[in-house]
Amino acid sequence: MRDKSKVVVKILDMASIEQKVVELLRTKNEKYSKCLTQQTWGIIETKNGIYALGTEGVGPSYPITKKKQLDILWYGGGEDFFDIFPTIKTNLDDEDLKSFPIKEEKNLTDFIRVFGVRLESNYHQWNSFLEPLV
C-alpha cells in the first residue's frame, strides 16, 4: 500500500511531437501512420529543475537541461503493425518539455503503475528522492 506522495506529476500531451515523428517515419516508409512510446511521460518541477518520469517509474535521475536531455524511444506503426524495436529516438531538453500542453496533473502515487515489486520499488525510490525537492 502506498502512502500519498507530496510529488505532483504533470502529464504531457505529446501529440505534436508524435505527429512530427510519424512525418519523419513516413519519409522512410509510407506504411507508417502512427507511433507510440513505451510509457506515458510526465514532468516534476523541483527546486533543482525539471525531472522527467514515465508511468513505469523510469526516467533520468538528473534534472533535464540543454546538456542533459531526455531520450524517448518511439515505435513506428501502421494499419496492422507496430515495430518490435524502437524506430527512432528523440532528445528533449527542459524547454521542450515545458512547451508541451499538460493533459492533467496526478499525484506520483497514482502516476506510477501498480503491479508487482519492481513498480513498487520504483515508486518508493522516486518518492523518497523527489519529496525533499518539491
Q: For position 29, what pLDDT does the model report?
A: 92
Q: For position 33, what pLDDT does the model report?
A: 96
Q: For position 71, what pLDDT does the model report?
A: 96
pTM: 0.90
Q: For position 40, what pLDDT does the model report?
A: 95
36 in Cβ contact with 27 (< 8 Å)? no
Confidence of residue 119 (pLDDT cuts 50, 70, 90): confident
CA atoms lying within 13 Å on the CB side of residue 13? 6
Query: Hey, what's the cell of 56?
Result: 513505469
Inform me whether the pLDDT recorded for 79 exceeds 90.
Answer: yes
Inform me whether the pLDDT recorded for 11 exceeds 90.
Answer: yes
Torsion of CA 17, 89, 102, 126, to 10 degrees: 180
Confidence of residue 67 (pLDDT cuts 50, 70, 90): very high
Percent of the chain with pLDDT over 90: 90
Domain ranges in the chain are: 8-133
